[in-house]
Amino acid sequence: MKLLIASILSLILISDNPLIIDFSKPSASENWKIINDGVMGGLSTGKVIQEDGYLNYTGIISFENNGGFSSFRSKYNQYQLEGFKTVEIEYALTGGDCSFTLETAYQFFEPYYAINLSETDGEWTRAAFDFSLFKQTVLGKQTGSYFNPNNLDDVIRIGFLKNDKKEGKFQMKIRKITFR
């Protein structure tokens, strides 16, 4: 009984205290990395630079050699998301849309869940999403299924994925990710 009460209290406390990933602080991105389509032979590029007050993620998407994506992802098992209901992302984006992703498997060919972040013409915006709106995706194609928020404890990695089928330069400035 004590364990049950402690579990319920921990879920309440988690939900009331947001998890904030503040990219204005250089330490926030230390355990994140770039993964481009080069892992599959593609030629797209991506890099991150810490700027004053935000993280600057830039690159070039190339379809040459069957390429077409760049991503910026956390390390595995870095964040515990159980108990949260929404995610809010403060960003500015040019060069097409990007996705925010929730990964539940280590293999790239397994489904992941994504929500679209629209291009903002470089203007800062805040976008908030309920986890139930994240669409299941396999190898860049949506399946028609959605993420079950009751499975947040299955999320092993989060990230940003630029794979909107738009070739060319992109720039994404990221200030904060807030889980509530």
| From the candidate CATH numbers 2.60.120.430, 3.50.50.60, 1.10.3720.10, 3.40.50.970, the one assigned to the domain spanning 2-179 | 2.60.120.430
Write down the pTM of the prediction: 0.88
Say which amino acid occupies 112: Y
Q: What span, in angstroms and rounded, lies between the C-alpha atoms of 132 and 85?
A: 9
Write the pLDDT tens digit of every residue in 63-122.
Answer: 999 899 999 999 999 999 999 999 999 999 999 999 999 999 999 899 999 999 999 999
Q: What confidence score (pLDDT) does residue 15 get?
A: 54
Task: Report whether pLDDT(58) > 90.
Answer: yes
Write the pLDDT tens digit of every residue in 125-159.
Answer: 999 999 999 999 998 899 999 999 999 999 999 99
Q: What span, in angstroms and rounded, lies between the C-alpha atoms of 148 and 175?
A: 27
